[in-house]
Amino acid sequence: MYKFLVVLTIGLCVLAGCKSRSVKEPKPDNQSAQPIVNIPADTLPPPSAKELALVEAANLFAFDMYRELVETSSPDTNVIFSPFSNFIALAMVGEGARGETADEIRKALHLDAQPDSVRAALPDMLMRLEKKLQLDTSSTFLVGDGLFSDNICPIRMDYRDWFTRLCRGEFQPVIFHDPAELEKTRGRINAWVNEKTKGKIPGMLSPDDIHPLTVAVLVNTLYFAGRWSYPFEPKSTSEAVFNKTVKDTIHVMMMHKKMLMNQLRIFNTPTFQFLELPYKGGRFSMMILLPNETYGLPALDSKLNISSWNEWKQAMSPLEGITIAMPRLKLENRKYLIPVLCNMGVKKLFLAGQADLNSMFAYGPVWVDNVIHSALVEVDETGTVAAAATAYTMPCSAPMSRTEFIVNHPYLFAIVDNENGALLFMGRIVNPVQK
């Protein structure tokens, strides 16, 4: 067997206008956000130019992040992530940024030529996604956005209104600054992520990810569940060899399926095969890039970009019939992404005193000290379940208010003349009982 590259075209494929079915579907019980504009799902206007440009930017961002993750990972390590979740989370944080911080984020998102596109197009894109998914009962794709904020450093009302009313995100007041409440807050955020991902990501934040200086956590979640259009037969699954590296092979449970004429599409080249496995309803597909050489994945990685991806997809044609064998998968990954984003040009956002998030927060300075991304993919004979969550944790070095002021450690003091500001006495106290 061969090493291969799997790409779930969930989300971006939907937004780009893949095939659909005109069947109504009740809204999933954990998708609590209500649409703002009451437009029937089957009479949506076509995507606007700004919305299409946003999708194109998201795809460019996807390949940039994939390249960075591959280059910073060991050759024998799986790379699993959701570029769509990362794009939405960074775009939402970027809407709260100003100056050079905003410029770096827009450039990484490939939106530097259209700086107002996120504020204008992201709400429309999310609304269209929700509406389109009401047409297809075959698959489930849920997007969730949450902003957990401590009022010690309030969120600006215009940003909060954009996040909740237009993007249909959820705003939840929490307490970070009180150490006695910190674990409760972490549990609350983790429970929210766990619910949005239907139990697939139960422990998004670890105890060290937040602290009493944290003032906000912004989270995006994705959940996908789809059944194959042409499922594999469980009785045909058997143990087989998978070649990890030149010197290392493992045994996996390999699924098998004989496909008939015109059931699937493929693109064959002298160096690789590109196969599309559709899910029921036709809206979603799994795309598999398989190098012809057993250890040819690095060479294939070097050719992968948005231009080659589009070219290869357009070159696909119906199969005349093929036998497919692929392993069951149950993989998950959790990664801190600040180094990756720095390599993509986002730097000031992570520097205390240099980050400018004053379009999001009423006070500051606030910056981002963690970007955590969790992703999970499960593939079996019936279909695929995938989930992802991206969290940005944001501390403030000088919170504007406290519920307590306890002088129980060394401090400075001064006695001043309030009329003219003169410093009359000054000192530092390290031992209050010293004579």
CA-to-CA distance for 392 and 221, rounded, in angstroms?
12
The pLDDT value given to residue 12: 35
Q: Which two tokens stand for residue 108?
A: 């990484």
Nearest Cα to Cα of residue 148 among 114, 197, 108, 187: 187
CA-to-CA distance for 111 and 80, rounded, in angstroms?
25
The pLDDT value given to residue 11: 35
CA-to-CA distance for 264 and 283, rounded, in angstroms?
14
Contact indicator for 75, 148 with CB cutoff of 8 Å: no
- In sign, the C-alpha dihedral spanning 183, 184, 188, 191 is positive
Average pLDDT, the chain: 83
**Least confident among 38-42, 256-260, 293-297, 404-408:** 38-42
Q: What is the pLDDT of residues 237-260, one digit of tens each?
A: 999 999 887 778 889 999 999 888
> Could you identify the residue written with the tokens 């390290």?
430
Q: What is the pLDDT of residues 175-210, one digit of tens each?
A: 999 999 999 999 999 999 999 999 999 999 999 999
Nearest Cα to Cα of residue 352 among 391, 397, 393, 392: 397
Share of the chain above pLDDT 90, in %: 55
Instruction: Please report which confidence band the pLDDT of residue 23 belongs to, taking 50, 70 and 90 as the band edges.
Output: very low
For residue 365, is the peptide bond before it cis, meaning its omega torsion is within 30 degrees of 0?
yes
Phi, psi dihedrals of residue 95, rounded to the nearest 5°:
-65, -20
Nearest Cα to Cα of residue 341 among 109, 76, 119, 146: 109
The pLDDT value given to residue 421: 63
For residue 141, which amino acid is it?
Answer: F
CA-to-CA distance for 15 and 419, rounded, in angstroms?
63
Instruction: Please report which confidence band the pLDDT of residue 212 belongs to, taking 50, 70 and 90 as the band edges.
Output: very high
- The more confident residue out of 275 and 12 is 275
> Could you identify the residue written with the tokens 């392993």?
327
Q: What is the pLDDT of residues 117-164, one digit of tens each?
A: 677 788 888 887 777 777 667 888 899 999 999 998 999 999 999 999
CA-to-CA distance for 256 and 238, rounded, in angstroms?
8
- Which whole-number Å values give the CA distances from 321 to 262, 263, 266, in the listed order? 7, 8, 10
The pLDDT value given to residue 123: 84
CA-to-CA distance for 67 and 63, rounded, in angstroms?
6
Give, in degrees to the nearest 5, the angle at Cα 233 between 231 and 236. Answer: 145
Counting Cβ atoms within 10 Å, is residue 196 exposed (0-12), middle (13-18) or buried (19+)?
buried
Give, in degrees to the nearest 5, the angle at Cα 57 between 52 and 62. Answer: 125
CA-to-CA distance for 291 and 105, rounded, in angstroms?
34
Contact indicator for 394, 366 with CB cutoff of 8 Å: yes
CA-to-CA distance for 259 and 263, rounded, in angstroms?
6
What stretches of 46-166 adopt beta strand conformation (E)? 139-149
Counting Cβ atoms within 10 Å, is residue 347 exposed (0-12), middle (13-18) or buried (19+)?
middle
Domain assignments of the chain as residue spans, ordered by start: 5-228+329-395
CA-to-CA distance for 284 and 56, rounded, in angstroms?
18
Beta partners for 150?
A: none
Instruction: Please report which confidence band the pLDDT of residue 85 belongs to, taking 50, 70 and 90 as the band edges.
Output: very high
Half-sphere exposure of 6 (CA within 13 A, CB side): 23
Nearest Cα to Cα of residue 88 among 32, 48, 49, 129: 129
Class of domain 5-228+329-395: alpha beta
Instruction: Please report which confidence band the pLDDT of residue 379 belongs to, taking 50, 70 and 90 as the band edges.
Output: very high
User: Collapsing DSSP states into helix, strand and coil, what is residue 354?
Assistant: coil
32 pLDDT more than 60: no
412 pLDDT more than 70: no
Nearest Cα to Cα of residue 142 among 66, 199, 57, 217: 199
Contact indicator for 383, 228 with CB cutoff of 8 Å: yes
Contact indicator for 6, 172 with CB cutoff of 8 Å: no
112 pLDDT more than 60: yes
